[in-house]
Structure 1
């Protein structure tokens, strides 16, 4: 037993000597230079592979300086041509050369790591040079246990192809263990592009279960919107990237922070982005929310990526055209699925109505292009909310956006279509979509409160309109329509409603309803009136074309003493009943057949009552109208035909005229040409010049005509011929000639003058008043003032002349007359050729005559007579003006 043990000891001693000699020999060999160990390279590559990673090492060189420096010197293993691939053979990292350092004690199972350093490595497809320092701890069986790696990046492009980033420098550290990795301290200083040079930081971890679950957190400090394409890889959330680059065109993104969640199979054969969240703040961005629409500018806010499919853009301040944004957001969805990304826009704005109209009416919105033009020119203040659901597709059509705009309006004003009477002080709401627009407002119109509702449909050619207005017709509107109290037609406020429907650029229907009960109405020229409180109503329908009046389709007016019924028939308005006071008629009103054609009216009936309730107005109305006829006629052209059995011009006991007919034409309120008969009196109007007309009135019984007009009751008989020119803003001028008439209310002094001669006594006692064979009255009518210009009248026993003025409105008189007794004898000297003017100072005068001054009023005249003038020869009266001063009343 002892011998056996002795022999074993010798063998062990020999073995130890052999090992020591081998080590000494190996150390000596290593001291002479590296030893190529391809088999070791293979074994190391096999040991480093695993968990989806395969490592290939083509070279291994072993060196050791311990033979000369001692056993504590590390063993160095240079590894060359190293490639790290994933499970499907894709190269992840290429390392031209790496240096592995280990202490001899590590081979004895101590805790000392293997130290690896490498330079000029590259990630696959990347041009960034990589340097690394690693500490690797092998396991008990010399398999991989754990490692700590520090990586430094040089300048170049990090990534593959278009998905790469321009890098100036970078670095990170990673701790690796079987089935786990932790990334820390990562940073990238990206290369300058434009005005941007961002710095990125990142960290992360990876854990292996059935799959690798990877999480990476990244930040970026600042990027200009115009430079973002260079720093956002196209393959990273591509749909979101496309939208951001296309729609955020200016401004700065700051403080970006993202978390990316990725998964990969154990062999790392494929990497999939499972989720991404993050945010960045925005400063002075320009955001296009709809292609071609007015963009949001000066936007300060942020963007939050909630996941791969959803993001939210928020705005704290911004401007949309001239509007100020008070709140805004856009929610993006479906960003990573094949369907188009959807953007839900919600924006609150404040500003002026013109600014809002400029945004809504600009292409591609054009939401007010088919609205009433008055609405598109509104003023005031607005707070608005814009909602839209926008799919991000090419050639997006507006109708696919779900656009909806709601606005609160205040202090709004816009045109009404009635010149000089706009809507004002409006307060209401407006809602617009791609299908139409609605607006409701409480406002002021013509000094009265009004409620306006507008609906506009954008579908179809020209769109549709539905406009309704409820208000009161007060003094302002009635005055504009010529129906105010001052005109003697209406007083009080009339409730009414107006409704317009139809095509905005075509045919529209108009319906007007008015309650006449509260109003006091009168038609002074027709002798009709209605007191306030008496029931009455008006219904009217009409047709508009392109916003202009085209035809009256129906009218129904009723009140005590008033009944008007009319309906369109065969293109014309047929009035079956027209009862206004005593006027009873029927007829038709035909609209123009063309733009330059005339309205045609034809009415007939048993009575046309033109009696006025204001006798002063009756006497002065025609005269006053000449003062306003100052220019060429304007307005609609018209033709009229009237036929009535009776014509009443004044209240009873004035007689009526039988058999009234008239035919004429005119423009606006101007009669251009016409002719008519009333009783036996005839009227003719013809053009005298471009601005003036000539009137001719002939009546066999002038006294009857004047009594029928309630103009003068003191004339009996007489054939009248009146010629006058009027119009053009000039006074009416003309001459009236009367023959064989009698003045029933002649002043008493003329009877005395008539009786001064024996020749005149029979005529003075012949009957009431004074009879004249002829009167010639040249005159001019300037407004309500009738100027007599040497008027003269005479009979065999008496003659007189008159010059002066008569006020038709107030009945005032200022007339100088000359009374010639025994006219046939007294006037004979004045008719002597060449010498006649020596005997008479006035045309139609006589050798002996009395000067008379008439002043005061027609109802109470003051008559002044100068008795000396009767004894003064005519030529002396003319030379010295004797008798111009009245001496006796």
Structure 2
């Protein structure tokens, strides 16, 4: 069948159509032989000359070629008035061929003559039967067939119809009612499809009714490869009407052959499959299809896209459609496809775009799906079923390209949308698809996720995501004809339950979004929580997860957790499998309470069997309202805010808070690892004040500490053991006082305090060391069970440069001052603040037991073996014994005075005491009493010394003095048995600079001596003067009387006659000078030879 359109070239006028020409020729043959037919019976074979005349008549003017007849027989056996012509081996030779090629071959033709016409004297055929006809035809690229009837052909189908009607209604064929051909074979060279068609076993029936013409053609067409196509063509024409109705039934016709017949069927050109079904159409007088209806069943075959793209197989398809030529519109009442990958049923319409003859450039259509099932083999875990859908698309045919403007598929209330294109390129398929769905359940998403598309990502999501909804899913898939495919996926999610680390509690109530690219997956939570075994839910809002390379199975993942909830819950997560951070550190998850907000970064492989060694992590956070009564046993540690830092090495908490009632600032650190198991450390700064002492149950003497300072403290926590601490302070802003040593530190001065020990009840203090202006001490402290002071033993206490000795402090119970024991060491009275001013330094103090090694009174004067006791309660008082420079024993009594602590020193070996003290080496025996009273000035005393019955011998200085005054007998006595002084006395003034002697004298039977002056400590020099009175027993008698004492002797020790002297220079070897003339001036007149008493220089 041939379709002509207004774009086709008009067929050449000289074309002729074979069938009509043969029929007209047969009519002329019948007329020639009409006379011979009347009155004959039986079969009559025409003679050769008659047959030749017939061939010549049929060939003359026949443009198709010469006609040859094999045999012509007239059969009158049935009815003499209805004879039958039988012509065998009729051939038509091709006139255009160089050789005698057969164009038409009719092995057998039977023509039955109409009886009524014969009775009227005319021979008219009533029916024609052809058997075994063979024909060779060709079709040009414009679709025209080169069979013509001779003469100038009709211009269009309407003219053809008029011509055919005229022939069948004309005088020769007007009686012809039926033409039937069986066993037909036709060979067609088809330039339109570039194929050679071979039609076999054709059957043609033509019926001529008074008002209609109808024809049917049944044929078989042998395809390449041996396949056979059968077709039944029916044509119906109402005489006088301008159109023809055509119906075709096909069986196993090649899709592309069908597509080549009409632009309306061109969409079949991309199929390589057999087609069965029916087509009905109306051909207008112009040759145009005014309508086309089809019902096609397409067998198993392939989609042949062209280019280098691989074909796609399908099992079967169906199409029920209508074509409106005027609108170039195809309406599909139903179109269905069944392939190994999908089953689809749809309806819709498409417009032909770019029509050129029987071809089109594209189809633009809209379709709705009644049913769609996607189930590619080994691609989906279960079939994807869609109850309805819609598609807006454009399909370009050569090469194939399908542009999807919009595709919508519905599964229940789930709406899937897609757009993009599929194109056949020379290198292969090019695919670009963008898809989206507003809301999709997780299980449904995984069912729709192709098994071969990012299988590792799909596997991870299947194993880790348990349930939830995906929102506003947007997917982009790109597969270039050359190069790797790319996939992008954006989605939100809600009510998601997923795991971020195997064995960890799942994330529940997850809401957020995700982005997946060709290699990377990123997830972010807006909402979500995990519920650990204890502590309640833990919010993970703001957390993110990234898989940098989703192509690696078990590859690394980066998780940024933002957690908020109870501290217990956060610690439970850190201590959960596979981490067990706290368990490995020996820490309980109940170590503290509070609310935690943290950010934890994890880098780990996303596979089973992850161990702690596989995980790299770090975290920072904040704990509010933190409280712990287990971190430091027995003490409540509370902080409004704590900063948290953690990594694989350990965890630290830092901030400001209170330890009990004491303000603290610092942090707690727990290192991870077997060697740190059960061990942690607290480091920080704590307030030192009375509150600190009260909190830790440290009872110091009243007034020992005042103000508030700070200390750096380190506390080592070992599970099952008492926390050990080390405290270090600069003592700034603290007032310290040791009453027993009369030492104190003002708040502005700094020092150093270090304390080590263990917390508990009571606190254990292993070591204490203090360095402050005027005080250095180190030792240990033991507290009673109630926390009160038991013993504070200091190995060495150095105070003010004057005290250096071990000191032991013993508590005596509540409200009682401590007992002090000084066990060794030394006291330097030259620098001592001991005794102070005012009422003494013992206020608030207690008893002091002394056992000093040395007490340095002055240069060269050292008390050793000092033993005794003091009482610092109230005003300082006490008594101790000692030896002067390790030799002469003395007894010292301390007593309070109005201006401080007074001193009374008593010795029964006065001479030895003076010698041991380096004051006077030649004295022996006698009793000495020294009394000193503070003046109110620092280290300044006024006092008096009294000595009785002392003997002096071998005294170089005195010898030099006696030699100077030429007292020979006294010198001999001095170097012999010695000079006895029955008494010696002096008033003393003691300052840090030196000693001033006033009204000093020593008297005895042999002589008397007076002395006044100074001894400069700093320079170790003497500057003394006085009077030496020989034979004092007689010479001083007048001085001893009240009447003449002041006249003959200004002071005790001076007589009527005496010599004034001076001692000046180094104390070890002073220079002695005597004024001999002074002996001539008795008593009061000697003052003329004396200067004013010297004084100690102030500088």
Say which of 289, 297, 315 aligns to 1:94: 315
Structure number, greater radius of gyration: 2
Write the distance in 2 (CA, Å) between the matches of 1:262 and 1:111: 36
- SS state of the match for residue 28, structure 1? strand
Task: Report the CA distance between 1:288 and its aligned residue.
Answer: 2.5
Say which of 147, 165, 176 aligns to 2:395: 176
Question: Residue 24 and residue 147 in structure 1: after superposition, are their counterparts in 2 closer, same or farther (change >3 A)?
Answer: farther
Write the distance in 2 (CA, Å) between the matches of 1:419 and 1:66: 103
Contact 1:167 1:188 in 2 (8 A): no
Task: Report the CA distance between 1:334 and its aligned residue.
Answer: 1.7
Pairing 1:317–2:535 present = no
Pairing 1:478–2:478 present = no
Deviations 1:390-422 (A, max 9, x none): 442332334544332211344434348656543
Question: Residue 655 and residue 96 in structure 1: after superposition, are their counterparts in 2 closer, same or farther (change >3 A)?
Answer: closer
- SS state of the match for residue 37, structure 1? strand
Q: Give 1:245's aligned residue.
A: 462
Contact 1:564 1:575 in 2 (8 A): no
Q: Give 2:38's aligned residue.
A: none
Question: Residue 501 and residue 100 in structure 1: after superposition, are their counterparts in 2 closer, same or farther (change >3 A)?
Answer: same
- SS state of the match for residue 443, structure 1? strand
Pairing 1:207–2:423 present = yes
Pairing 1:497–2:741 present = no
Q: Give 2:338's aligned residue.
A: 122
Q: What is the 5 A alignment of 1:104-503?
A: 121-126=337-342, 145-147=361-363, 150=367, 152=369, 154=371, 156-163=373-380, 164-171=382-389, 172=391, 174-177=393-396, 178-179=398-399, 180-190=401-411, 198-211=414-427, 212-264=429-481, 274-305=485-516, 307-321=517-531, 322-325=537-540, 327-335=542-550, 337-338=551-552, 340=554, 342-369=556-583, 377-415=591-629, 421-445=635-659, 447-462=661-676, 465=680, 467-484=682-699, 489-500=704-715
Question: Residue 577 and residue 152 in structure 1: after superposition, are their counterparts in 2 closer, same or farther (change >3 A)?
Answer: closer
Q: What is the 5 A alignment of 1:803-822?
A: none
Q: Give 2:221's aligned residue.
A: 37
Question: Residue 575 and residue 479 in structure 1: after superposition, are their counterparts in 2 closer, same or farther (change >3 A)?
Answer: closer
Task: Report the CA distance between 1:584 and its aligned residue.
Answer: 4.7
Write the distance in 2 (CA, Å) between the matches of 1:527 and 1:77: 123
Task: Report the CA distance between 1:123 and its aligned residue.
Answer: 1.6
- SS state of the match for residue 500, structure 2? coil
Q: What is the 5 A alignment of 1:492-571?
A: 492-500=707-715, 510-516=725-731, 518-521=733-736, 530-532=744-746, 536-541=751-756, 555-558=768-771, 563-565=776-778
Task: Report the CA distance between 1:380 and its aligned residue.
Answer: 4.1
Write the distance in 1 (CA, Å) between the matches of 2:729 and 2:711: 4
Deviations 1:717-744 (A, max 9, x none): xxxxxxxxxxxxxxxxxxxxxxxxxxxx
Write the distance in 1 (CA, Å) between the matches of 2:690 and 2:614: 49
Task: Report the CA distance between 1:432 and its aligned residue.
Answer: 1.2
- SS state of the match for residue 600, structure 2? strand
Task: Report the CA distance between 1:442 and its aligned residue.
Answer: 2.6
Write the distance in 1 (CA, Å) between the matches of 2:292 and 2:259: 20
Write the distance in 1 (CA, Å) between the matches of 2:732 and 2:150: 141
Deviations 1:619-677 (A, max 9, x none): 9xxxxxxxxxxxxxxxxxxxxxxxx995747567656799xxxxxxxxxxxxxxxxxxx
Question: Residue 531 and residue 374 in structure 1: after superposition, are their counterparts in 2 closer, same or farther (change >3 A)?
Answer: farther
Write the distance in 2 (CA, Å) between the matches of 1:646 and 1:543: 35
Q: Give 2:1049's aligned residue.
A: none
Give TM-score, length-normalised by structure 1. Answer: 0.53
Pairing 1:577–2:795 present = yes
Task: Report the CA distance between 1:479 and its aligned residue.
Answer: 2.1
Give TM-score, length-normalised by structure 2. Answer: 0.44
Contact 2:602 2:616 in 1 (8 A): yes
Write the distance in 1 (CA, Å) between the matches of 2:426 and 2:491: 34
Pairing 1:28–2:192 present = no
Contact 2:662 2:695 in 1 (8 A): no
Deviations 1:565-588 (A, max 9, x none): 569xxxxxx99934488895599x
- SS state of the match for residue 422, structure 1? strand
Q: Give 1:628's aligned residue.
A: none
- SS state of the match for residue 327, structure 1? coil
- SS state of the match for residue 239, structure 1? helix
Write the distance in 2 (CA, Å) between the matches of 1:284 and 1:329: 16
Write the distance in 2 (CA, Å) between the matches of 1:88 and 1:419: 78
Question: Residue 543 and residue 278 in structure 1: after superposition, are their counterparts in 2 closer, same or farther (change >3 A)?
Answer: same
Task: Report the CA distance between 1:203 and its aligned residue.
Answer: 3.1
- SS state of the match for residue 283, structure 1? strand
Could you say what the CA RMSD is over the residues aligned between the two structures, in angstroms? 5.7
Contact 1:577 1:586 in 2 (8 A): yes
- SS state of the match for residue 233, structure 1? coil
Question: Residue 507 and residue 130 in structure 1: after superposition, are their counterparts in 2 closer, same or farther (change >3 A)?
Answer: farther
Question: Residue 462 and residue 55 in structure 1: after superposition, are their counterparts in 2 closer, same or farther (change >3 A)?
Answer: same
- SS state of the match for residue 309, structure 1? coil
Task: Report the CA distance between 1:167 and its aligned residue.
Answer: 0.8
Deviations 1:307-355 (A, max 9, x none): 22234323333335544455333344322x2365554333444445444
Write the distance in 2 (CA, Å) between the matches of 1:147 and 1:517: 94
Question: Residue 434 and residue 9 in structure 1: after superposition, are their counterparts in 2 closer, same or farther (change >3 A)?
Answer: same
Unaligned 5+ segments in structure 2 are 1-59, 66-147, 155-159, 169-177, 182-202, 207-213, 224-228, 230-251, 261-265, 532-536, 781-791, 809-820, 828-839, 848-864, 883-1099
